[in-house]
Amino acid sequence: MAGSKTYYLTTPIYYVNDAPHIGHAYTTLACDVLARFHRLDGKEVFFLTGTDEHGQKVEKAAVEAGVDPQAFTDRVSVNFRDLATAMAFSNDDFIRTTEDRHTRSAQAIWKALADNGEIYLGSYAGWYAVRDEAFYTDSELETRADGTKVAKTSGATVEWVEEPSYFFRLSEWQDRLLDFYDKNPDFIRPESRRNEVVSFVRSGLKDLSVSRTTFEWGIPVPGDEAHIMYVWLDALTNYITAVGYPETDSELFRRCWPADLHMVGKDILRFHAVYWPAFLMAAGLEPPKRVFAHGWWTNEGQKISKSLGNVIEPNALIERYGLDPVRYFLLREVPFGNDGDFSHRAMVGRLNGDLANDLGNLCQRVLSMISRNCGGSLPDPTTRQTEADVELITGADALLPRLREELDVQAFHTALAAIWAVIGEANRYIDSQAPWALRKTDPERMGAVLYALAETIRKIAILLQIFMPGSAAAILEQLSVPTAARTLSDLDVPLRPGVSMPKPQPVFPRYVEEEEEP
C-alpha cells in the first residue's frame, strides 16, 4: 500500500487535572470504533489520543497537590493510559504535550507563524477563564447574583488579565475561513454545529492572544522566553507532532496529514474549527478533513460535575455492567451528536433487551441446537436451502454497505440499529422456521435452517467486532471462525459445513438487580 493515505483520526488530548470520566471515555470510544472499522476494512490507520499537560489549570492542580507540575503530570497522565486499556481502545500512539517531540513541534509551528508575519507583539487586557483556558469578550459573559462574572457557554468563572502578549492575526483569516467552510461543506459535522461556527466567524474575528507571561508552565516562545505559548496553540499542535511535524517530508507525515477526523466535544469545537484551521493555513499546512462535535452526557438528568459528586467513572461502569455493554450503550442510546442522559435504568434496558435477549439468546439458541442436535458440527445446507434462508443471509449482506454509509457520517446509533434490525429478522426467522420441531421430522431441513442462522450470526459478529471486540470474538470463537478470517473481506467467505464447533457459552449474561442492602 506504499503511498496510500493512512486514515488518521484523533481524540482531544485530555486535561490531566481531572480523573478520567465518561465524557473522556465517550470521545475516545467513538474514535476507537472508527479505527477498528477501517483496520478491518484493510486500511492503514493511525489513531491518536493523549494528554494536555500545560497551562494554568494544570499548574494550579499541581500546586494544590503539592507537587511540581512535571511530577504531577507524570503521575496523572497514567490514568488516561489506564483508561485506554480498561476500555479496550486500540490507539496507535499516546501523546503527552510535555514530551520533547512536542516542544520541538510547537516551537516549530510558532516559528512558521512568526516567519509568515502572522504573529505580533502587543498586550492583552481582558477576561480569561482558567477552567476553559479561554479568553472571553464582554458579550460572552454574564454576571451572577453574587457578582461573579462567568462565561455564558460554560459557566466558568473569568478573571481579569493584563499582560504583554503575542497575538495571532486571526482577524485576517475571516474570509479565508468562510471560503474554506464553503468549499468543504463536510468539514464541520453535524450540520447544526457547522451553522453555529459559520455564523460565529461571519460575525467577525478578533486577533487572538497566543502567549502568556504571568505563569510558567508551558512551552517557551522561541526567541522570547519571558512568554509561554497559549495552551490551546500548544495543545492543538499535538495533532501534527504525533505524525512527525516539523518533518513534513517524512513518510509518516505525508501518509497521515491532513488528518481525516478530529473527534471533539461540542464545548471545544471553536478551537478546532476556527483557530486550528487558521493556524494551520497560516503556517502553510493543510487543515484537517473533518471535525465532528459530539454532545454531552448528563447523569440521571443532571449536569455532571465534581461539585455535585455525580461524575461517572468508566471503571465503575465496567465493573458493574461489563465492558462491551458499556461500549454498546454509549453509542446506541443517543444519536451521535446529540446530548444524552446516562441512567441505570436505560443501561439495564439495553443490556437485558438488546444484548442478553436479542443477540445473546439468538446465539445461544442456534449454537446449542447445533451442539445438541448436529453432533457439534455445522450442518450442510446445500440440499435443502429455501428462499427464506437466502433472504435472511442477503439481509445480513446488506449491512456492510449500510455501515460504510453510516460510519462515514459518524452515525454510530443508526449503524447499530441496522445491525439489530437483522438480529430481529433472525429471531423472527428462527421462530417461524421452528428448527426444534424439525429435529425428528426433517433433520436435513433443520440443518439448513441452523446453517442460515449460523452464517447470519457470523456476519453480524464480524461487524460487531468494531463495537464490542471481546464479545464479538467470543461469538466468532464459538462458530470456529479462525482469527485470520474475521475481516470485512471475509464477510463473503461462508462457513464451511462440517466444521466442528465448541460447546456454546452464553456471551451476554442478564443483569440482575442486586438485593437492596438491609
Residues that bind ligand MSP (CB under 6 A): 12-15, 18, 23-24, 26-27, 52, 235-236, 238, 264-265, 267-268, 296-297, 304
Residue 24 or 194 having the CB closest to ligand MSP: 24
Contacts of 166 (CB under 8 A, 6+ apart): 119, 120, 121, 122, 209, 210, 211, 221, 224, 227
Residue 23 or 504 having the CB closest to ligand MSP: 23
CA–CA dist 457, 422 (Å, integer): 9
Q: Output the smallest distance, CB 18 to ligand MSP, in A.
A: 6
Which residues in 417-439 are b (16+ Cβ under 10 Å) and which e?
ebbbebbeebbebbeebebeebe
CA neighbor of 255 nearest in space, from 516, 513, 8: 8
Q: Output the smallest distance, CB 339 to ligand MSP, in A.
A: 8
Three-state DSSP state, 350: helix
CA neighbor of 13 nearest in space, from 212, 264, 256, 297: 264
Residue 288 or 379 having the CB closest to ligand MSP: 288
What are the helix (H) ranges across 218-376? 231-236, 238-241, 251-256, 269-270, 276-282, 314-321, 323-332, 344-350, 361-373
C-beta nearest to ligand MSP: residue: 265
Q: Output the smallest distance, CB 479 to ligand MSP, in A.
A: 36
Q: Output the smallest distance, CB 307 to ligand MSP, in A.
A: 14
407, amino acid identity: L
Burial of residue 218, with CB atoms counted within 10 A of its CB: 0-12 exposed, 13-18 middle, 19 or more buried: buried
Q: How many CA atoms lie within 13 A of 310 on its CB side?
A: 14
Q: Output the smallest distance, CB 10 to ligand MSP, in A.
A: 8
CA–CA dist 92, 259 (Å, integer): 14
In this structure, how many other beta carbons lie within 10 angstroms of the beta carbon of residue 130?
A: 18
CA neighbor of 23 nearest in space, from 305, 276, 383, 224: 305
Residue 13 or 188 having the CB closest to ligand MSP: 13
Residue 23 or 435 having the CB closest to ligand MSP: 23
In sequence order, the β-bridge partners of residue 121 are 166
Residue 62 or 449 having the CB closest to ligand MSP: 62
Question: Which helix (H) or strand (E) is 211 found in, with range?
Answer: strand 211-212
Residue 166 or 297 having the CB closest to ligand MSP: 297
Find the helix packing angle between 469-478 and 443-464, rounded to 10°.
Answer: 150
Q: Output the smallest distance, CB 513 to ligand MSP, in A.
A: 26
Residue 129 or 367 having the CB closest to ligand MSP: 129
Residue 205 or 236 having the CB closest to ligand MSP: 236
DSSP output for 419-443: HHHHHHHHHHHHHHH-HHHHHHH-H
